A and B are shown apart, each in its own frame.
Chain A
């Protein structure tokens, strides 16, 4: 078997480069879109917690205690409270009031607390987005808990001296148990791997992978399809070029551009979003394998498609589930088991996992073997598949 000729590969690669260079609109998109996407996605995922959610607060109790609660609630940054008089009503019409939640302090609330039969606060939530509703409820519950502790301290401060004298007569063990019961039980949490809990650190591989896969797969998918559509493929196939030379020659310019794009995205992530990158060599290996996998996939789609339109359609059909199910922006563990197995078919899944293992967990090579092997397997399958399809076209 003859080895591919470097001169022949160079001819194909130079021709492909000229196609990219001459198509100025695509070239501009290629150079501008990735940094723009990085900024947009980065800012979109920079803050992981909810803030300034528009909400109504109505005080039907109108007592000093309810006012103290409102004062505390206003310090909660999750909500952008709009106070409304209880006479106005219509708190359940969240859409009409243009809010995501509405809290009502019921009449007689303060009295009910004094009577030992506390009335609950009413809280209406927009459940269309289940995650947001849960977070809002949790946040208000937290404020209420804090308010309860404040009120308890006031109550303790106002207790008559006799109560303390009576307490001193209790056995020491009971006294200690009482103190423990009255003290909020705490968790001493220490966040590892992403100590500042910055969501951007988690989604960085997702942002890089998504942009790269979108560009490499769609651009690469058009290469052979374009030759086939314009009739130049047969002209190529009657030359002395071998299939391997055509495939390698077509991939090289896109590989070079993709490497440049990765560097731009990583620099932007580091400079603008202060994302730190560690173990550069291993990250480079992961990125390189992922790029080859994506380019191979584009090539496979290209060899399978008869026209450029078909190639773009196949690319979109492939990329859509990848973006949703690959764990790029949400933990894969939250998905059902069967879907998780399905997601393992996507190169982006392995790229994101391997990237996070290196960059967040500082994991060594032994943790990455399965994902790296999967990416290598992907490269092999897509390239062999594309070569096979080219052979079918040739015949």
Chain B
């Protein structure tokens, strides 16, 4: 069994009366790709900033590679790379100059640095752009450069704050391919994302809501925590049906998926039987139904909206 690289012990951050993060306790093992999911303002970035030693925890502690992230933050900072949510490199410096600067900032020996930069340029596919100003790169290339700069000191741990936000599918895929390679090389990855398909690519996922950790397990474990298959119905017109079904007392929630309505309800079989007997909306045409396996988006919806009736206790 691999050793935990990150250990959070009742980690909390309060801003006055606002409890941004409260009593977070979990650990992340070496080589894991840990996806940290939550709505905007749920506490993802605050947690990441505490782990990076940028924000002092109000209570509790976090340990990275046996060092307290706040009290020994200078020692901890050599052990991770950080890619911020927004582009945080120097646009007037070239790709090479940015990498050289961060190499110097991380005290990478000069002889080793050039070799390391050349490897990273190849890995990030930025070799041809080495003399291009960072500000002139496309959004995807900028994020790849940010990743390159975060890896310039060869850290065993990588923090990425929504790194694929705003990227086209090609660059998202390129970024993930790189992350798989890094994970394969033993680098632990802590990533926050809004994209549920990306959450499915992680080896472990944590859900945070209003500063509290709701669940942490593998994507498969989380999906299996659903107690039932989900009912998906096809109706026409779809939008008025969505609005009206949300008002139904037996329905927890409804989401639109590729033109169909996915129903979140504690007893969907009973609901379907009732609708088969009598469809209550004569102006909306019933076109059919099917049962689907829940995916990560359903998991995220259930945890973030508090649909506890749909969830079994996690076995992991």
Contact = CB atoms under 8 A, between A and B. Distances in A.
Contacts of B89: 232, 235
A231 B88 contact: yes
Given A8-B104, A235-B88, A15 B93 contact: yes
Contacts of A19: 90, 92-93
Q: Which 6 residue pairs are nearest across A and B when measured between Cβ atoms?
A: A11-B104, A239-B105, A235-B88, A231-B88, A22-B92, A238-B82
B312 interface: no
A231 B80 CA distance: 19
B54 A237 contact: yes
25 contacts: A5-B107, A8-B105, A10-B104, A11-B101, A11-B103, A11-B105, A12-B104, A15-B93, A15-B97, A19-B92, A230-B88, A231-B86, A231-B87, A232-B88, A234-B84, A235-B84, A238-B52, A238-B54, A238-B82, A239-B77, A240-B74, A240-B77, A240-B153, A242-B74, A394-B54
A157 interface: no
Contacts, number: 71
Interface in B93-146: 93, 97, 100-107, 110
B305 interface: no
Contacts of A8: 104-105, 107
Chain B CB within 10 Å, residue with most, of A18, A23, A235 = A235
Contacts of B56: 395
Contacts of A236: 105
Contacts of B31: none
Contacts of A160: none
A231 B107 CA distance: 22
Interface string A1-17: 00001011011101100
Main secondary structure, interface of A, reads helix
Given A23-B92, A234-B88, A235-B88, A240 B54 contact: no
A253 B107 CA distance: 20
Interface string A102-132: 0000000000000000000000000000000
A240 B107 contact: yes
A284 B104 CA distance: 32
A283 to B, nearest CB: 36
Number of chain B interface residues as a range = 20 to 34
Interface centre among A15, A242, A394, A395 (most CB of B within 10 A): A15
A127 to B, nearest CB: 55
A11 B55 CA distance: 25
A18 B93 CA distance: 7
Interface of B: 49, 52-56, 74, 77-78, 80, 82, 84, 86-93, 97, 100-107, 110, 153
Given A11-B104, A22-B92, A232-B89, 7 more contacts: A10-B104, A14-B101, A23-B92, A230-B91, A235-B89, A236-B105, A239-B105
A241 interface: yes
Nearest to A394: B54
Contacts of B80: 238
Contact of B55 (A12, A230, A241, A395): A395
Nearest to A9: B104
A14 B49 CA distance: 28
Contacts of A7: 104, 107, 110
Nearest to B78: A240
Contacts of B84: 231, 234-235
A305 to B, nearest CB: 19
B88 A18 contact: no
B300 to A, nearest CB: 27
Contacts of A18: 92-93, 97
B55 to A, nearest CB: 7
A239 B54 contact: no
Contact of B105 (A234, A240, A395): A240
B82 A235 contact: yes
B163 to A, nearest CB: 13
Contacts of B54: 234, 237-238, 394
A5 B89 CA distance: 22
A18 to B, nearest CB: 6
A239 B80 CA distance: 9
A392 to B, nearest CB: 11
Contacts of A235: 82, 84, 88-89
A12 B92 contact: no
A241 B105 contact: yes
B105 to A, nearest CB: 4
Interface in A354-395: 394-395
Contacts of A5: 107
Interface string A255-287: 000000000000000000000000000000000
Contact of B101 (A15, A22, A234): A15
Nearest to A2: B74
A172 to B, nearest CB: 91
Nearest to B82: A238
Interface in A28-72: none
A108 to B, nearest CB: 80
A12 B97 contact: no
Contacts of B92: 18-19, 22-23
Nearest to B83: A235
A257 to B, nearest CB: 17
B88 A240 contact: no
